[in-house]
């Protein structure tokens, strides 16, 4: 079966060094906007490709 949990660290794209949220990626401080969704998708896509090749 193997490992089925693969965390993705997206904090660099959504959280400042002081721990506060980046308003450009989460304007309402709750949901990602379209730009953030693209960043998330690229990170997720890279992991999927890595797993697919294995």
pLDDT digits (tens, 9 = 90+) for 1-14: 567 777 888 888 88
pLDDT score of 25: 85
Q: Look at residue 29 in the predicted model and tell me its pLDDT.
A: 84
Q: Determine the pLDDT at residue 18.
A: 94
Is 47 contained in some domain?
yes
User: Phi and psi at residue 27, in whole multiples of 5°?
Assistant: -55, -35
Q: Enumerate long-range contacts of 5-9, CB under 8 Å, 24 or more apart.
A: 6/47, 6/51, 8/43, 8/44, 8/47
6 within some domain = no
Residue 10 lies in a domain: no
Q: Answer yes or no: is 39 within a domain.
A: yes
Number of structural domains (the chain) is: 1
**Residue 15, domain member (yes or no):** no
Q: Is residue 33 part of a domain?
A: yes
Kindly state whether residue 4 falls inside one of the protein's structural domains: no
Range of the domain at 30: 20-53
pLDDT digits (tens, 9 = 90+) for 2-51: 677 778 888 888 888 999 988 888 888 888 888 888 888 888 887 888 87
Look at residue 48 in the predicted model and tell me its pLDDT.
82
């Amino acid at each position: 079966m193997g490992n089925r949990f693969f965390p993705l660290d997206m904090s660099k794209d959504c959280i400042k060094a002081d721990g506060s949220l980046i308003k450009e990626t989460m304007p309402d401080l709750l949901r990602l906007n379209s730009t953030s969704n693209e960043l998330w998708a690229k990170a997720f896509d890279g992991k999927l490709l890595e797993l697919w090749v294995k």
